[in-house]
Amino acid sequence: MKIDIVENVLQYNKDEADKNRKIFKKNNILVFNLLSSPGAGKTSLIIKTIEKIGKRKKIGVIEGDISSTHDSKKIKKYINDIVQINTGGTCHLNASMVAKAIGKLKLEELDIIFIENVGNLICPVGFDLGEDFKIVISSVTEGDDKPVKYPPIFIKSNLVVLNKIDMLAVSDFKSIFFYKKVKELNRSAKIIKLSCMNGKGLNEWIDWIIDKC
């Protein structure tokens, strides 16, 4: 009985995600679902991306938080096409929340939407939002063991971004261990290492994004 309920919830979410996907496709918008721990650098990466390609590509953002508009305000300095979702305590976005947010964006004008999920390395992974790509952002300062301790998000993501590589010199992060563990979970995932602080690696990230457009 309990399993039935869970299945219904996930099936309902899947149906809503498929509706979102159709809307994105119809408007020719590429959608990235950004997943990470709190503070790994989702907002910073969005801002750096807008700075780099915001004139070439029209970018919209759907910003997920349990409460506050803290990150939205930061991004709002760069673009107008941003919608805040406050989940009111729920630990992940779902497709219905995103469906409501879509209605507030000028879809016909957009090329790309970044969905910044709630900062959480566990719960968001089970909920399809209708995105084209799931991207997990892990950061050097969180430690090299995140793939070992939180496998599902690394298994399900199309791209692994390793942020804060400017901190490699002052941490005990072992890149070889991290890469090995990611590859054990997800042989096809590409890994891009970068620093939103000093800009290293951002061009490879931008190339990856542009290549998908």
Which residue do the tokens 């930061």 mark? Answer: 74
User: C-alpha angle 156/192/60, rounded to 5°?
Assistant: 75
Given 27, 96, 141, 175, the residue binding its own copies (CB under 8 A): 141
Smallest distance, its own copies to C-beta of residue 175, A: 15
The three-class DSSP label of residue 101 is: helix
Given 53, 79, 107, 123, the residue binding its own copies (CB under 8 A): 123
142 binds its own copies (CB under 8 A): yes
96 binds its own copies (CB under 8 A): no
What is each CA distance from 117 to 20, 37, 40, 170, 207, in whole angstroms? 16, 10, 12, 29, 23
User: Would you say 172 or 211 has its CB closer to its own copies?
Assistant: 172
201 binds its own copies (CB under 8 A): no
Q: Is the dihedral of CA 112, 209, 66, 186 positive or negative?
A: positive
CA distance 46 to 139: 15
Given 150, 154, 178, 205, the residue binding its own copies (CB under 8 A): 150
Smallest distance, its own copies to C-beta of residue 104, A: 21
Nearest in space to 145 (alpha carbons), one of 134, 158, 156, 154: 154
Which residues are paired to 131 by β-bridges? Answer: none
Smallest distance, its own copies to C-beta of residue 58, A: 27
Long-range contacts for 203-212 (Cβ within 8 Å, ≥24 apart)?
205/45, 205/49, 205/161, 206/49, 206/52, 206/53, 208/159, 209/32, 209/49, 209/53, 209/112, 210/53, 210/57, 212/30, 212/132, 212/133
CA distance 42 to 154: 16
Given 10, 99, 107, 122, the residue binding its own copies (CB under 8 A): 122
Q: Which stretch binds its own copies (CB under 8 A): 96-104, 161-169, 184-192, 203-211?
A: 161-169
75 binds its own copies (CB under 8 A): no
23 binds its own copies (CB under 8 A): no
Given 79, 99, 155, 167, the residue binding its own copies (CB under 8 A): 167
6 binds its own copies (CB under 8 A): no
User: Would you say 114 or 150 has its CB closer to its own copies?
Assistant: 150
Q: Which residues bind its own copies (CB under 8 A)?
A: 37-39, 65-68, 70-71, 89, 91, 118-123, 139, 141-143, 145-146, 148-152, 164, 166-167, 170
